[in-house]
Amino acid sequence: MDKPTSHEIRQLLNEYESEKESNITDQEPTIGRIVHYVTDESLEEHRPAIVVECAGTIASLQVFTAGLGSHGTKWKSSVQYDEEFKETGTWHWPEREDG
């Protein structure tokens, strides 16, 4: 069997990463998972939150607010999932950072 070329290896790695990414976004939240909540204050501000209750992709979250002029947490209930547009008041999975 021939050794794979660097192009073939890159292609396989890209396919693997794409599949892994789609598996993450297809997951429903479970209690204790960390997600990002898009704050009411700014569309640019995504805050870490812990899933406290969930039903499908609707979750109740404990949002960490330190750094937003307050300290501690905020309770947000019946929060909708929005991976695509990341609208205010929604949650999504944390962005992947390469590096």
Please write the tens of the pLDDT for every residue from 37-69: 998 766 568 899 999 999 999 999 999 987 656
Mean pLDDT of the region 64-82: 83
Q: What is the mean pLDDT of the chain?
A: 82
> Among 3-7, 16-20, 78-82, where is mean pLDDT lowest?
16-20
> First vs last Cα of the chain: how many Å apart?
33
CA torsion, ordered 89, 91, 92, 94, to nearest 10 deg: 100
User: What's the whole-model pTM score?
Assistant: 0.68
Query: Kind of pairing, strands 73-81 and 90-92?
Result: parallel
Residue 1 has what pLDDT?
65
